[in-house]
Chains A and B, each alone.
Chain A
């Protein structure tokens, strides 16, 4: 059982880091609660694997602390941390049978044979590996191997957290779904903290209760998949989550109006005030394509946009628009009237996000 706390943690691979860019992990504070299913989501090179290796003890952080249940474990090697890790490429002991593979972590600590048998049988049953127990691990398929490496984490009853480093990369698409279900099932059955690293938002949101989105070495948002979708804290989360990503308009105030380049926007005065008082030149308004109101005919307070392309996806369509000189996406459902050539857009105020220096700022409603 463990609650994993990262306290002002930072890591760099360089001997003498001089700027924030030199850090693979920029200073962060974070808590993974006992028994949670978490995903660590981010593009390649954002530091998610580094963070995982720091938690498992394969790397020692340059500064800050890793705490397990409040106890500092920075200097503890992986073998002393009660943690299991599943790697991107399945790691199995080729010459051993599946049974011996699963028994390996138990035998290494001198567990009695009957206890080993009992645990291995239980885990093999959960992972549906029982028919393969007598086979050499070398001859298994990729997904079976990945289940074996997962199983080696599960057999140990002292394991309090399992870390997954993009474990489904080499698995066939149709089996990915099955394995993800299996993971969920295991999570519910064993009370284990699971941290799942991926760059795939779908994988993250189907597996995890809460997702930490990483960008340039920091966690820019930690929340449920719904929170990430509806109220992204950072422009990167807006871009990265959702398909297509969030629309962002660079805005400024001029003559009492909110302008996106040369185009005046029809937005309520609270938005104008918020932009005017932001105190920065990097101000953006963001709205999800799903939340844009699209009209096929002119309506009050709407902005005119040019329709450049319509991508019909059956139950909905994605419109590629041009608003002033900014490209813009909107999603409309199949029942809505499809605009031709021109569309009139309205931004519902409750769906509009204000981003100052890339971070979200609340717009104070009256």
Chain B
């Protein structure tokens, strides 16, 4: 018996959700879309520009260079933080007071606000009063982040690794804790080497947390702003000017709202695209290959 009632007025029930989504995402985003296709002079004067701003943004050599730097930065920190985070998680004690103590120590950098991290490192790397800057100089290395692009890059990467590796480590630690003992016992009975235990038991069980970790870290690092801004201000030259900083300069500094809006949308689409690629790639690794092989 089918006693389901059809009543199209039920569609009104989604109205609150629609309003919420509209205010949180659709309306702000549409404002940006609005600016990206027009040249706005004042409240009454505007011209429709079509794809002009998009073309200009995509062809801007300065922005292209920033994009390349941005990818180089994000991929570098991912390549360092993911293996390092897994390594730290593997070394962390599993029980006792040591586990709690280490957990707190590892978490500490995550609790520091971005601006503060930038300031801490700015002071830390100063040649006169900063421990690292002074130390490196005393060792005979002419360390200077305001002059050498290599030093600036190295320092920003080091800072990001210090700030965010704990996130990967924490995620992996929780993933490792959820592996039942029977797996390790079975591996011992199968005479698996330490490497095989990692490769075939630990790493597969970490896949899900690593997906989250990699996506979060990619998005975060791709949008990085405050830390390099405080530490190097984008310099020396443009060597550490990443996308966010270029965008801020364009939108706030120069009030170029049209190009900035087009730039924002492209920026957003790149992040979306890369996240999708990461996610699909990782999920594909676990798929059954039977169909492909035609078994």
- Whether B295 pairs with A134 at a CB distance below 8 angstroms is yes
The answer for the CA separation of A96 and B186 in the assembled complex, in Å, is 15
Whether a CB of chain A sits under 8 angstroms from the CB of B293 is yes
Residues 86-128 of chain A, each 1 if its beta carbon lies under 8 Å from chain B, else 0: 0111010111100000001100110000000000000000000
Question: Nearest-CB distance from B95 to chain A (Å)?
Answer: 15
- Whether A105 pairs with B200 at a CB distance below 8 angstroms is no
- With A93-B200, A95-B204, A135-B290 given, is the CB distance from A58 to B191 under 8 Å? no
- Whether A105 pairs with B185 at a CB distance below 8 angstroms is no
**B269 surroundings in chain A (CB, below 8 A):** none
The answer for the CA separation of A94 and B288 in the assembled complex, in Å, is 11
- Whether B189 pairs with A104 at a CB distance below 8 angstroms is no
Whether a CB of chain B sits under 8 angstroms from the CB of A366 is no
Residues 267-292 of chain B, each 1 if its beta carbon lies under 8 Å from chain A, else 0: 00000000000000000011111100
- With A136-B288, A139-B288 given, is the CB distance from A91 to B191 under 8 Å? no
Question: Nearest-CB distance from A128 to chain B (Å)?
Answer: 17
- Whether B286 pairs with A85 at a CB distance below 8 angstroms is no
Whether a CB of chain A sits under 8 angstroms from the CB of B1 is no
Whether a CB of chain B sits under 8 angstroms from the CB of A50 is no
The answer for the CA separation of A139 and B289 in the assembled complex, in Å, is 11
The answer for the CA separation of A134 and B185 in the assembled complex, in Å, is 25
The answer for the CA separation of A95 and B199 in the assembled complex, in Å, is 9
- Across the interface, name the chain A residue whose C-beta is closest to B196: A108
Residues 119-155 of chain A, each 1 if its beta carbon lies under 8 Å from chain B, else 0: 0000000000000001110110000000001001100
- Across the interface, name the chain B residue whose C-beta is closest to A84: B189
- With A91-B182, A93-B204 given, is the CB distance from A78 to B189 under 8 Å? yes
What is the interface residue range for chain A against chain B?
A: 20 to 34
**Contact for A79 among B191, B203, B295, CB less than 8 A:** B191
The answer for the CA separation of A94 and B286 in the assembled complex, in Å, is 9
- Across the interface, name the chain A residue whose C-beta is closest to B193: A108
**A95 surroundings in chain B (CB, below 8 A):** 200, 203-204, 285-286
List 27 A–B pairs whose Cβ atoms lie within 8 Å, in order of A's numbering: A56-B185, A56-B189, A58-B185, A78-B188, A79-B188, A79-B189, A83-B189, A85-B186, A87-B185, A87-B186, A88-B182, A89-B180, A89-B182, A91-B185, A91-B186, A95-B203, A96-B200, A104-B192, A105-B189, A109-B191, A134-B293, A134-B295, A136-B288, A136-B290, A138-B286, A152-B186, A153-B189
Give the top 9 A-B pairs by smallest Cβ distance, nearest first.
A91-B186, A105-B190, A87-B182, A134-B295, A108-B191, A95-B204, A93-B200, A79-B191, A78-B188
